[in-house]
Amino acid sequence: MDFDLFLEEMKKRVPKARKFRKISRKKDKERVESAVLDDKCTEIPQTSDGRRAYK
């Protein structure tokens, strides 16, 4: 199978995309705002060097 056919096959396997969830709803917008501005999101775990660099 050549690469173009492989890609076509993979595209077919992707489930039909749902409607893109724009953050137009007030609740979604507030969640994005608190994630970006108030750190209300999951923290990326750090190595000891990372913790040292940002202590």
Binding site residues, other proteins, CB under 8 A: 7, 10-11, 13-15, 17-23, 28-29, 31-33, 35-37, 39, 41-47, 49-51, 53-54
**φ, ψ for residue 38, nearest 5 deg:** -110, 15
Distance CA 34, CA 30 (A): 6
Closest separation between CB of residue 24 and other proteins, Å?
9
Give least dist CB 2 to other proteins, A.
Answer: 16
CB of 4 to other proteins, least distance (A): 12
φ, ψ for residue 8 (rounded to 5)?
-60, -45
